[in-house]
Amino acid sequence: MRITVIAATGGIGREILNQALAAGHEVTAAVRDPGAVPAPVRTVRVDLARPDRAALEAAVDGADAVLSGLGARTGSDIGVVVRGTRAVIEAMDATGARRLVVVSAAPIGTVPSPRRPHPPRHDPGDGPLIRYLAGPLIKTVLRKRYADLALMEDALAASGLDWTSVRPPRLTDRPVTGDYRTALDRNVRGGTTVSRADVAHLMLRVLDRPETVGHTVGVGN
């Protein structure tokens, strides 16, 4: 399969890149700094903070799937996710690429957005600790980051593409195990952590799961 990895040098993007190569896929890495890509793959220089449509079209042209590990690394990066994802969607529309898998975050189902101004107060997969204590605190601290991700999911829903949004809880740097739980359109009950490597594993795994198209997928250990 021909796969384009957006933000291929980030924490999740790097895992997607390595696992896709290990699985025998033909990979293109779309990155700000091609010199930071350790693997011998085709690279396209793309700065998602200031998207270059021609570069993005070159990156996704001919791809069977586009997997995005795009995320805001610092407070000054907030806004890059929705801006970059919209640019990726436009490039996919222009080139005919259809399958898009992105990484989001577990709390986003309860974050208001223009498409969903009144989301449910609690995710059906969250237990009491997340619902009443940890969840509200985390959403307050990361409010702007989550608003960026909610806008990204709005863009996905309006795109007409075959999209899937993977919503992990707190990320760790543990190695890939493949031993995690998933839930369609809800968070995983009791799944408070998951490794970046396992998120990447799931993002590749859903490519063979048509039932995830147009849906979010919760994941957790």
Can you give the residue ranges of every domain in the chain? 2-220
Q: Which of 99, 215, 102 lies closest to 149 in space, CA to CA? A: 102
pTM for this predicted structure:
0.94
192 near 169, Cβ under 8 Å?
yes
Contact 30, 18 (CB under 8 A): no
Identify the pLDDT of residue 78.
85
Matching residue, tokens 């700065």: 47
What is 2-220's CATH number, 3.40.640.10, 3.40.50.720, 3.40.50.10190, 1.20.120.80?
A: 3.40.50.720
pLDDT at 58: 97
- To which H or E segment does residue 217 belong? strand 215-220
Give the HSE-up count for residue 155: Cα atoms under 13 Å, Cβ half-sphere: 22
What averages of pLDDT result for each successive group of 10 residues across the chain (221 residues)?
Answer: 97 97 97 90 93 95 97 80 97 98 96 94 80 64 85 98 97 97 96 96 97 98 91
Instruction: Calculate ∠ Cα 195-173-39, nearest 5°.
Output: 100
Q: What is the pLDDT of residue 137?
A: 61
Rounded to whole angstroms, the Cα distance separating 59 from 91 reads 9
- Find where tokens 């033909």 sit: 26
Among 97, 69, 91, 83, which residue's Cα sits nearest to residue 11?
69
